[in-house]
A = this chain, B = another copy of it.
Amino acid sequence: MAKATGLSGFPEWLPAGRLVEQHILDEARRVFELHGFSSLETRSVEPLEVLLDKGEVDKEVYVVRRLHGDEDAGLALHFDLTVPFARFVVEHSGALAFPFRRYQIQKVWRGERPQEGRFREFTQADIDIVDAGHLAAHHDAEMALVMAEFLGTLPIPPTVILLNNRKVLEGFYRGLGIADSAPVLRAIDKLDKVGRDRVRTLLIDDAGLDAGQADLCLELAAISAEDASFVRRVRDLGVSDPLLEEGLAELAAVIDSVSRRRPGAARVDLHIARGLDYYTGTVYETQVVGFESFGSICSGGRYDALASDGKTTYPGVGISLGVTRLVSLLLGRDLVRASRSVPTAVLVAVVDEESRTESDDVAHALRGRGIPCEVAPAADKFGKQIRYADRRGIPYVWFPEAGNHTVKDIRSGEQVPADALTWSPPAQDLTPQILQGEGT
């Protein structure tokens, strides 16, 4: 079940772990499509300058080149799915109907130092909505609701989506007389990792704030609420700015909408800043309750200026599930597991090699009715064929003895006469089930 240790930061799952990942991806797709998101995949590489333009990621990018020949020089593996999507939208704007809704499930690569929950190759599952010119505000709540609905379908601990708005932070900083908000955002973004005291030092030493400004920034970051009551608490700090007011109104609208449909699914938390430069409004992070230190499993935000072809700007809002991080948590703590590691529900035994065709016929009939099965690889003694099924976690063995077909549940030992044209296993044995593990 655990991940391979072959190459640090490049996780691989054994089949039972992969089933957990597949279940998560299947549920994501099902929920995303119910909400009208179209599937999309973009190429894995982008021109290096496209990637470097979009944030502080230059040290994290993997460049690729042909072993012999340099005609592809200047390409690098994408580090997220938002930047490639923005490029795709501009490139194909004439062929898309706006607002355009897409989901995208692909691997991304970052040259980060590998550690718990942090990988160099990992899978993301993103949803985004972009429009041409102007994107309606209600989509910001919609993204959180879609992700909350999806997360609610999984057999995992409760999750909570943390909401903030860049305009609240930047407006507040501006109202405080801080000229450059970037170093302040970077420092605030480190609160979970290094703590309040260290961030205060960073705000004063690196961002150049005075002690009063730093304390107010920290007081703002400490505000958290399950409803729009946060607005009054921000105003009580005595800072005013038009951008701050705009952000407060937007954030209040998002928490109101989300709470009305799914009470408890989200919370306003003003210390959420998000590292990437391109966010301009609402930002999201998501915690698994009880595993907060594991980091956000689902993050994103609104980006009003990421995609533009010079004439038209395509504002967007998106949220990205860190599939590999979530799976590594679920498997690593045994929070979720698969009921078996193979799709196979039935092993069809082989009486002797001469009659293998008859076993193939049984398997063919069962598969025709949607029952996954295998034919035994060798006509060993039945005891050995049963042990083969047991070792693979296959629950049933079919014995195609002439004129007397039977099927045995090898867990209970119960063996009954059976006809391949009519017999079916119980629904919970048809496919592997994804269940809560013993770590819950």
Contact = CB atoms under 8 A, between A and B. Distances in A.
Interface of A: 4, 6-7, 10-15, 18-19, 22, 33-45, 48, 58-69, 72, 75-77, 88, 91-92, 95-97, 99, 101-102, 107, 109, 111, 120-121, 131, 136, 138-139, 260-261, 341-344, 356-357, 360, 364, 367, 370-374, 377-378, 388, 391-392, 431
Contacts of A68: 58-59, 111
Chain multiplicity (copies): 2
A279 to B, nearest CB: 21
A373 to B, nearest CB: 6
Q: Which of A48, A60, A72, A356 has the most CB of B within 10 A?
A: A72
Given A10-B43, A18-B40, A36-B342, A4 B136 contact: no
Nearest to A350: B138
A335 B45 CA distance: 29
Contacts of A392: 97
A41 B13 contact: yes
Nearest to A95: B14
A67 B63 contact: yes
A43 B101 CA distance: 29
B36 A373 contact: yes
B18 A38 contact: yes
A233 to B, nearest CB: 27
A402 B120 CA distance: 53
A238 B369 CA distance: 49
The 5 closest A-B pairs by CB, nearest first: A36-B374, A36-B344, A10-B43, A33-B343, A66-B111
Given A4-B91, A101-B374, A136-B378, A40 B15 contact: yes
Contacts of A45: 7, 10, 121
A59 B69 contact: yes
A38 B61 CA distance: 32
A111 B67 contact: yes
A330 B44 CA distance: 23
Q: Which of A67, A102, A261, A388 has the most CB of B within 10 A?
A: A67
A99 B377 contact: yes
A64 B67 contact: no
Nearest to A66: B111
Nearest to A145: B360
Contacts of A138: 356
